[in-house]
Amino acid sequence: MSAFIYLASQSPRRSQLLDQLGVRHTLLLPNVEGDVHEDAEAIEVALPDEAPANYVERVTALKLDAAVQRRVRRGLPDAPILCADTTVTMGATLYGKPVDAADARRMLAELSGRTHRVLTAVALQAGAQRWAVLSVSHVTFAELSPAHIAAYVDSGEPLGKAGSYGIQGRAAALIPHLSGSYSGIMGLPLYETAQMLHTAGIAF
């Protein structure tokens, strides 16, 4: 039984959520000094006509593949590795991380007054075994005026977040209704993750 797991994610929110569960973890991030360069962004490019659920599950699996190779390449101790990926989708449209403030304003204008889905895929590798789960939540935004959108984007919070918002931050004031997993919308569905860790024999 492992005393800790690796978290292969640059999201501070995922690390905080694992802390909330009491899961001991160490970050296993790409592109540290002395290691080979990994094109992490290339993994997140969607395939033509790819369904949102297929996209997020495929990207998570690729991230986990890369993390497994990273651990071996660096000669790190063997331990389970956890990966996750979150995307926002409305219809067949994917809303990933905005490239800049203008892109964030565009996304928020499109999400304004409508209900979208938040998909978070989680995958765990322990030895030769792999587990995966998909969390699906629905989030409804209030009608947002251009001024509301501009003020929120100017706060800097939307940058680096799928769909250009963080539900655990100021965006909470813009969301009258949600259903599903609040932690899943943040980036790591705690119930599903805990069940998967228990199934893999990881105690916490």
- Chain-centroid distance of CA 178 in Å reads 18
Kindly name the residue from 65, 78, 85, 103 that is annotated as catalytic.
85
Q: Where are the beta strands (DSSP E) in 92-162?
A: 93-95, 115-126, 129-140
Q: CB under 8 Å to 110, separation ≥6 — which residues?
A: 90, 93, 95
Active site residue 85: yes
- On the CB side of 149, CA atoms within 13 Å amount to 21
Distance CA 48, CA 101 (A): 26
Gyration radius from the chain CA atoms: 17
Task: Match 């995307």 to its residue by tokens.
Answer: 87
Angle between helices 101-111 and 146-154 (to 10 degrees): 140
> Which helix or strand (DSSP H or E) is residue 3 part of?
none
Catalytic machinery residues: 85
